[in-house]
Structure 1
Amino acid sequence: MNSPRTRRRPALRLALLAGLAASLGCSTVAKRGPALLPTAHQVKTGPFVVYSNAPLKADAPPVRALDRLRADLAARLDPGVDADPGPVEVYVLDDRNAFLHLLRFYFPELPPRRAFFLAQDDQRIVYTFNGPMLDEDLRHEAAHALLRGRFGDIPLWLDEGLAEYFEAGPDDLQDRDDRLARLAADAKAGWKPDLRRLETLDEVHQMAPRDYRESWAWVDLLLSDPKGGKPLLLAHLQEHDGRTALTTTLADRGTDGGTLLAHLGADPARVVAQKPAADGPHPARVFRLQDRPAAAEPSRPPGLLRRLGALLGL
């Protein structure tokens, strides 16, 4: 697994094993248990390497979901996304319990979710589990991976807004109607768009479900205008140094929260985006999470020796 806590070169892995044996006694490591990560089978598609305990065929629905995501991102946002050389490692655990156990063991600081994306340096890893929402979860987290590979580190709200937009697919009108209904309920409860506030968020823990919805709405607004909004969004994504706040750029063209509310009140069939033709210090870790929690029993983080043992599949 391509993660600072769980991937080790062979020599380092052997050193850890030797150290563990010396500290615990050889008799304690004679019996091996299952490793926390699935590695029995793998299938490659584009930049993705999908690992699982059960075999996945190249035309399995999760694999096709990743292929469609690449096509959607290339057509709706930037054709360069399709040229990502990878690798992006994708781990599909057996079930929800196995996934939550992995979360508690290696990432106790994270809230329980159905899937998450981790980036550090050039490593990009998606973790999820085999369940009824697997395709959707894969698209959301893999979108983060592809966006990072193409544009580098982008603002949190925009990263999540794009992942939400491509989660079910831009052509899924039912998904769009559901999102519009939730935003209408938010507006009825007094919510008003505030992109300037979204731009101040830099930790996934700061984002509430309503923030995910608003982020999706801004992306939907921009990508629904292929001649004006899409080029503006793409230019913003391609700014790596001294990126201008999108609030400022939008204000210069007269776009604000009122514009967004008017857009959300339009006829969904009319405003769906038109599909254009494909034209030194310790490295920081980046997490991206969905807004849908998965219930988990409270658990104390395991001790160091247990974590090392599970890391090595002991």
Structure 2
Amino acid sequence: MIRPHRLACYTCLVCWLAGLFPMVLRGDDWKSRHEAGNLSIFAEFALKDVQGLVDELAALQGEIEATLRLKANNQPIEIYLFASRGSYVNHVSVRVPNAVNRQALYVQGKDAGRIYAYRHRNMDIDVRHEATHAILHNCLPFVPLWLDEGFAEYFEVRQAERKSQNPHHSSIKWIRRFGGRPDLAALEKKRNLSEFDGGDYRDAWSVVHFMLHGPPAARKILDDYFETISDGGVPQPFSQAFPAQLGNWGSLYAQHFR
């Protein structure tokens, strides 16, 4: 699901910025706190008010591991939830001024992955999206930008909605009626989210969905890609692997989204 804050900025800031973020309030300075394994959630409001989200976040790592057949390390993931946009901006503006227009922010540091968000109607979607980034980077030494965003778009909705109820479904089915397929080579060339538009997020999600729920041969390409990355190798780009191993993959893709 695309919202304006994703189109204007980046998702994962460089690690030297992460060193600034531990300056946020900790421990007893927060009204509510929850811990589950390597996950810590701090909030300026009672977490019981968003207990559903807390439970979903506690389960998200296991869902990602099971779905992607990966295993995350135990690096801490800290989530900071602010009661209002004003409070969020007050904390973020002095540390990462360019991020104040975002509704949520993920920063990968050397000691922990940190997520910052404020309470609003779609906070749960935003936090699941950013938490997916944090978990993925605990699973793999490197995740290409477009694939990272594709998975975040996939896992940002509730588990029951991921296979057939993501908002991208309706738009991708409509577009595919007119033919065409994602330009994988173009997606792979993008290095900054400032280069992404709504269509890029949609296409990245659709390729992820195709690999997870489409033909077994497409899933094998993903599994092989992960295995190569985990072993420290350089995987074949998807733009080359798809035609080499799937043949007319555009036809398979179109059938998948009929």
Which category describes the TM-score, using the shorter chain as reference length?
Answer: 0.7 to 0.9
Of 190, 193, 201, 2:190 maps to 201
Counting only pairs closer than 5 Å after superposition, residues 164-203 of structure 1 correspond to structure 2 as 164-172=153-161, 176=165, 178-187=167-176, 192-203=181-192
Q: Is the 8 A contact 1:65 1:135 kept in 2?
A: no
Any unmatched runs of 5+ in structure 2?
1-16
The residue number in structure 2 matching 1:5 is 20
The residue number in structure 1 matching 2:3 is none
Distance 2:111 2:244 in 1: 35
The residue number in structure 1 matching 2:88 is 99
Q: Which moved more, 1:222-231 or 1:203-212?
A: 222-231
Deviation at 1:138, TM superposition (A): 1.7
The residue number in structure 2 matching 1:263 is 256
The residue number in structure 2 matching 1:66 is 57
Instruction: Tell me which amino acid in the other structure corresponds to 2:87.
Output: A
Distance 2:39 2:49 in 1: 12
Distance 1:194 1:54 in 2: 43
Deviations 1:118-156 (A, max 9, x none): 113343111111222222222111111111001122100
Number of positions where the alignment pairs a residue of Structure 1 with one of Structure 2: 236
Any unmatched runs of 5+ in structure 1?
9-34, 266-314
CA, structure 1 residues 257+189, in 2 after alignment: closer, same or farther (shift >3 Å)? Answer: closer
What is the TM-score normalised by the length of structure 1?
0.66
CA, structure 1 residues 103+221, in 2 after alignment: closer, same or farther (shift >3 Å)? Answer: same
Q: Is the 8 A contact 1:194 1:257 kept in 2?
A: no
Deviations 1:229-248 (A, max 9, x none): 33321221231432321111
Q: Is the 8 A contact 2:77 2:134 kept in 1?
A: yes
Identity over aligned residues, as a percent? 24
Counting only pairs closer than 5 Å after superposition, residues 104-115 of structure 1 correspond to structure 2 as 104-110=93-99, 112-115=101-104
| Larger Cα-atom Rg | 1
The residue number in structure 1 matching 2:7 is none
1:54 is aligned to 2:45: yes
CA, structure 1 residues 71+244, in 2 after alignment: closer, same or farther (shift >3 Å)? Answer: same
Distance 2:86 2:146 in 1: 29
1:141 is aligned to 2:130: yes
Deviation at 1:256, TM superposition (A): 3.4
Counting only pairs closer than 5 Å after superposition, residues 291-306 of structure 1 correspond to structure 2 as none
The residue number in structure 2 matching 1:250 is 242
- Answer 1 or 2: higher relative contact order, Cα 8 Å, separation at least 6: 1
Distance 1:72 1:58 in 2: 23
Of 73, 76, 98, 2:67 maps to 76
The residue number in structure 2 matching 1:284 is none
Instruction: Tell me which amino acid in the other structure corresponds to 2:59.
Output: R
CA, structure 1 residues 123+132, in 2 after alignment: closer, same or farther (shift >3 Å)? Answer: same
Runs of 4+ that moved beyond 6 A: 35-38, 188-191
Distance 1:196 1:121 in 2: 31
